[in-house]
Amino acid sequence: MQYWLVKQEPSAYSWSDFAKEGRTSWTGVRNNQARLNLIGMKRGDHVLFYHSVSDKAVMGTACVSRQAYHDPTAGDDEKWVCVDLVAKKPLPFPVTLITIKNCSALANIALMRNSRLSVMPLTKPEYDRILKLGGL
């Protein structure tokens, strides 16, 4: 079982959009490091959903329902992949970037080191810590 964090601008696709639909295909990733992380995702892995830009907070949890397959939005370019995600629970208290920065146990997550990466792995302790900070 692995743990991940995915990032999206809420103006493009928000947690509330995701929660309403219940599931989504995580398409449009066009960065190689993020692509490799998508390929590493297995069905049932735990995922956190982060709002970049305006909210800058982890909003809720999800899980992987289908592992990496060809991203249909990439046309004939076979390189790019997507996964399917199912929405789970909203965090009672969204965990802001400031909170994450102030937590020494989360100092090494990729969000801190490379703010532009849109799909990143977490360790189980990091994942658990964010859930706890979020009130789950």
What sign results for the dihedral spanned by CA atoms 135, 109, 83, 13? positive
DSSP-derived letter for residue 55 is S
Site string for DNA, 52-91 (x = CB under 7 A): xx--x-----------------------------------
By CB under 7 A, tell whether 111 contacts DNA: yes
What does the chain come to in residues?
136
Contacts of DNA in 6-25 (CB under 7 A): 7, 9
Residue type, 39: I
Among 73, 102, 108, 114, binds DNA (CB under 7 A): 114
The pairing of strands 46-51 and 81-96 is unpaired
Binding site for DNA (CB under 7 A): 7, 9, 30-33, 52-53, 56, 97-98, 101, 111, 113-116, 118
